[in-house]
Amino acid sequence: MNNQQKSHFCKLSIIFIIFFSYNLTTQDYTIKLLEKYSPFADKIINYTLKDSSSFEKLAFMCDAFGHRLSGSDSLNKAIIWLEQEMKKAGLENVHLENVMVPHWVRGNEFCKLIKPYQRHLSFISLGGSIKTPKEGITAPVLVVKSFEDLEKQKNNVQGKIVLFNYDYKNYGQAVQYRFHGAEYAAKYGAIASLIRSATPNGMNNPHTGSMGYNDSIPKIPHGALTVEDAALIERIQKRGQTPVITLYMESDTLPDKLSYNLIGELKGSEAPDDIVVIGGHSDSWDVGSGAHDDASGCIGTLQAVRILKELGLRPKRTIRVVAWVNEENGMRGAWAYAKAHQNEKHVLAFEWDSGVFPPSEIRVSPDTLVHKLKIFEPLLSKIDSIKIIKGGFGVDIIPLTQAGVPTMSLNTEDHGQYMWYHHSPSDTPDKINPYEFNKCIATIALIIFIYADL
Amino acid sequence: MNNQQKSHFCKLSIIFIIFFSYNLTTQDYTIKLLEKYSPFADKIINYTLKDSSSFEKLAFMCDAFGHRLSGSDSLNKAIIWLEQEMKKAGLENVHLENVMVPHWVRGNEFCKLIKPYQRHLSFISLGGSIKTPKEGITAPVLVVKSFEDLEKQKNNVQGKIVLFNYDYKNYGQAVQYRFHGAEYAAKYGAIASLIRSATPNGMNNPHTGSMGYNDSIPKIPHGALTVEDAALIERIQKRGQTPVITLYMESDTLPDKLSYNLIGELKGSEAPDDIVVIGGHSDSWDVGSGAHDDASGCIGTLQAVRILKELGLRPKRTIRVVAWVNEENGMRGAWAYAKAHQNEKHVLAFEWDSGVFPPSEIRVSPDTLVHKLKIFEPLLSKIDSIKIIKGGFGVDIIPLTQAGVPTMSLNTEDHGQYMWYHHSPSDTPDKINPYEFNKCIATIALIIFIYADL
């Protein structure tokens, strides 16, 4: 925590001390705060839940610009459109900040089973992978279930394409294979590597995402098969046959390109230099149209502030909306923002990058903040059964977290469904329920307003 | 009901009369039958639920031959393999019967949005559709929600591509647009037609299926968009813009090809000329590998009889397993079988073409059979909570139904999920739970054995 954050915390603490110094009991204090913010809550909730513009804007962003991979023209066009929407919403200080972003491109790609029979395989390169030679790579496949299984079979890896067909448990586990699979396989001599797509529910959607290389280990092409086709290859191996596949990828990393973080503000009435920064990320993967991930976060946080402005609710502190760029494959926007604004007084950093489902939890850090905000649960319960709990995470707010800024994020009750769509062709607006989207926006508008106004 | 069926019914009735003539109460009669068949039920269930070969065979059929559209080499290879499996299972009178089947081919196809912006659209031709001209069809789209909506807008249809983006209620409703959409749209001057895929859960899978033309109305190309892309086109129209698309299809109907119905039997011990015919269909659509639809029905019914044979359970009447060909787009196998075997005494026709989920109901016709078989529910309950109810349907047994043969079918508790995969790339073996498959097979083996032995 730096001095600025310490200062904000001192202020929050002073508020509490003042209440107690007037010999108010905790219960009295809670009642006072709830009485104060209850009319604001009603206003925000009633207005937001009847609003139809949020889903319309999200769908337009997805439909008109399509996918928004860093370095693409469609991303920059979407950001420029979003800038106009911020201006139309009446936000102040709306502007773009230059960010040089990675420019990885997919190109043509395919994967096919050659032996024991010929089959098209549904395949997608993972973001950042190198290409194959022009003639592709044709090689036998070795299916492994885990890194441990790979280790056991390390003498059988040379010259093979390793397929990690792990039993899916959760995204965190799956990401290990997506991010590190090529490195682990290449260590033992694999010439390419594949993973089962990182999803509990394949439905023939290949899921992409970021991957990494280790400079001390040869770089090999790395991609994902659908759940269906990974299972097919494993069944063939289990029958005692050796599957042979041909893999062709043109994916490449071109020179960095200019893109932008987008910023707009609702200036605070009493402490405009105290900044509550909220946002989502403007970029998506180059499949689907990034409706959940993360047009919802960009549009949702913008709409939350637009609604506060339309209701004439200007809190004491400034609420700044940021559409960070390049969350998916580089975090360049996050680091650029943190650097450009390092001398400002951030009193909170909030990112919404968890998809649109019924809001269930507001997660906050540090832990002391949980107790301070928990008293507002009765107001949030007017929207849904929402708890204030420990946590608070977003990739784009990692740099601010590291600088000691308190964090907040929204969790939703997705029953695992977010990962059905995540980084796949099926992340499209039809997967978003407009009413649930409004409930999330109302939640954010309310808790952020209270936080910025305390 | 013809004379043969009448004869079987008389026999069933005589069994009942005999019991009653011995002054047994209904309860006594039920207990006697349950006592008689309970040991058989235990044998069948214990053996089947521990069996691992059923799923392995299903997966092999899907993996090794792929999709099995009528007229394809892969279908005929799969049928020849299935014939060998029948022989290995020890069935008697295993043989193929020639059937000339339709030979519709897909060829290359694509659909893209041209205005208001360019997008690839996920598209699939519907089975039986004519092709587009070589240059494709580029035209504005009119989105309608129903046939009634089309009727209202009939003066606006000329020269358009009509998209039926109905609100999905059930498969029966969806099939109306799939089968008759081209005819209805062409009636008012449309030059092509599209439907939202017939599924409650799109996940970017286009779903194909059969369609029809009316010879008195111009034939126009007819295909399906994914749920996602149909929704996209409708959103554009709702914004007051006119979507324009280019549609390209090479689909064509070639001369009929030779294929086969496959037949094998477990001959009855006392009345071998009384035939209980059971089966599924060997063909599938040319996407996915037809795991649920209907490798499960072919393999499942074969396995049911294989298990009876391995357990030494030979019923009084003959059980005949048939893999009917061309259920999906012609019913040629069904009609050929009914014609070739019209002089035989069919005492029951059973088809399993409803996918693999926990077995829930045995549906039978005529209604009098419900009461006669309902007493065996306690034995079926050892497998799952299975009811005997009115019904009994299968496309391939329609000709036998029309000839008056009693019918039976298996319903499963799919919670709508079967239609997620149906006729789409995601109908693959990984969607089948081997234990649920075994439960269905045990159900079929048990009820068919009892029926054939009564």
Structure confidence by residue, pLDDT tens digits, B42-67? 999 999 999 999 999 999 999 999 99
Q: Please determine, for residue B194, whether its predicted confidence score (pLDDT) is greater than 80.
A: yes
User: Looking at residue A167, which CATH number applies to its domain?
Assistant: 3.50.30.30
Supply the pLDDT for residue B28: 85
Supply the pLDDT for residue A34: 95
Catalytic residue among B85, B327, B351, B361: B327
**For B443-450, what is the mean pLDDT?**
98
Ranges of residues in chain A whose predicted pLDDT is under 70: 1-25
> pLDDT per residue over B245-261, tens digit each?
999 999 999 999 999 99
- Does residue B299 sit in the same domain as residue B397? yes
B233, B250, B267 - which closes a domain? B250
> Is the ipTM reported for this complex over the cut 0.85?
yes
Please tell me which of the candidates A203, A424, A428 has its beta carbon nearest to residue B426: A203
> pLDDT per residue over A297-352, tens digit each?
999 999 999 999 999 999 999 999 999 999 999 999 999 999 999 999 999 999 99
Catalytic-residue membership of A327 = yes
Q: How far is B150 from chain A (nearest CA, A)?
A: 23
Q: Which of A73, A226, A233, A235 to mutate to test the interface with B (most CBs of B within 10 A)?
A: A235
Q: Please determine, for residue B441, whether its predicted confidence score (pLDDT) is greater than 80.
A: yes
Q: Which residues of A240-275 are buried (b: 16+ CB within 10 A; e: fewer)?
A: eeebbbbbbbebebeeebebbbbbbbbbbeebeebb
- Does residue B296 sit in the same domain as residue B381? yes
Q: From chain B, pick out residues whose CB is under 8 angstroms from the CB of A241.
A: none
- Does residue A300 sit in the same domain as residue A398? yes
Residue of A nearest to B238 (CA): A56
Please tell me which of the candidates A117, A227, A428 has its beta carbon nearest to residue B64: A117
A187, A217, A250 - which closes a domain? A250
Q: From chain B, pick out residues whose CB is under 8 angstroms from the CB of A420.
A: 203
Contact B203 A420 (CB under 8 A): yes
Look at chain B and report how many structural domains it folds into. Answer: 2
Contact A205 B202 (CB under 8 A): no
- Does residue A368 sit in the same domain as residue A436? yes
- Does residue A227 sit in the same domain as residue A365? no
User: Looking at residue A442, which CATH number applies to its domain?
Assistant: 3.40.630.10
A250, A272, A294 - which closes a domain? A250
Please tell me which of the candidates B204, B227, B426 has its beta carbon nearest to residue A228: B426
The mean pLDDT of chain A is: 95
Contact A203 B228 (CB under 8 A): no
Residue B93 tokens, joined: 């009178």
- Does residue B418 sit in the same domain as residue B278? yes
Torsion angle of the four alpha carbons B55, B56, B57, B63, in this order, in degrees rounded to the nearest 10: 110
The SS3 call for residue B350 is strand
- Does residue B295 sit in the same domain as residue B227? no
d(CA B351, CA A76): 56
- Does residue A314 sit in the same domain as residue A415? yes
Domain containing A170: what range?
107-250
Supply the pLDDT for residue A256: 98
- Does residue A95 sit in the same domain as residue A111? no
Contact A204 B203 (CB under 8 A): yes
Q: From chain B, pick out residues whose CB is under 8 angstroms from the CB of A63.
A: 117, 232, 235-236
- Does residue A131 sit in the same domain as residue A262? no
**For B24-49, what is the mean pLDDT?**
91
- Does residue B428 sit in the same domain as residue B300? yes
Q: Please determine, for residue B4, whether its predicted confidence score (pLDDT) is greater than 90.
A: no
- Does residue A244 sit in the same domain as residue A261? no
